[in-house]
Amino acid sequence: MTTRAGISAGMLLFRRQNGSAQLFLAHPGGPFWSNRDVGAWTIPKGTVEEGEDLIDTARREFREETGIEPVPPFIPLGAIKQKAGKTVHAWGWEGDADPRSVTSNTMRTEWPRGSGKWLTFPEVDRCAWFDPTIARVKINPAQAELIDRLEAAIGA
């Protein structure tokens, strides 16, 4: 399949508890991310395939990385550009999920790079709920803007 280089789409699940929002973030799997926390978490997202609608990519990637089916309505959060140049389009959606029941697709990568050793591991090794203040610390710094936009959209 052909992909649209440098373009990803994803979803930010939120729930309301005791009058405030909580955000569902994913932690990337694999050896590179295993000991990283601050700035390592992300919204479930992935690369857009050629001819695929952005919202369809976002829904597919959320499902593949968490095992959870996103349910409309979806709140457009626009796009952000990450430090390495990748553009991420995102939507918010309200729901609930048990982080302990997350199931993720797997990926394969050479580790360490250039070693000739190939590892297979879950693309997402865990998910968790965070209040917006903690989420802004945990999430990839460029994606923090998506939290601001979601809060503005839902009046949090």
pLDDT tens, residue by residue, 13-50: 999 998 899 999 999 998 888 899 999 999 999 999 99
Compute the C-alpha angle 12/51/86, nearest 5°.
50
For the chain, give the number of residues: 156
Residue 61, pLDDT score: 97
Instruction: Report the alpha-carbon distance of residue 142 to residue 34 in Å, rounded.
Output: 20
Residue 32, pLDDT score: 84
- The pTM score is 0.93
> Mean pLDDT across the chain, nearest whole number?
94
CATH classification of 3-154, choosing from 3.40.50.150, 1.10.10.10, 3.90.79.10, 3.40.50.300?
3.90.79.10
- Using an 8 Å Cβ cutoff, are 77 and 45 in contact? no
Query: Would you call 103 helix, strand, or coil by DSSP?
Result: coil
Q: Taking 90 as the threshold, does the pLDDT of residue 68 lie above it? A: yes
User: What is the tens place of the pLDDT at every residue in 113-146?
Assistant: 899 999 999 999 999 999 999 999 999 999 999 9
% of residues, the chain, pLDDT over 90:
87
Residue 1, pLDDT score: 59
User: What is the tens place of the pLDDT at every residue in 84-118?
Assistant: 899 999 999 999 999 999 999 999 989 888 999 99
Q: Taking 70 as the threshold, does the pLDDT of residue 3 lie above it? A: no
pLDDT-derived band at 12 (thresholds 50, 70, 90) equals: very high
β 3-17/75-81 pair status: unpaired
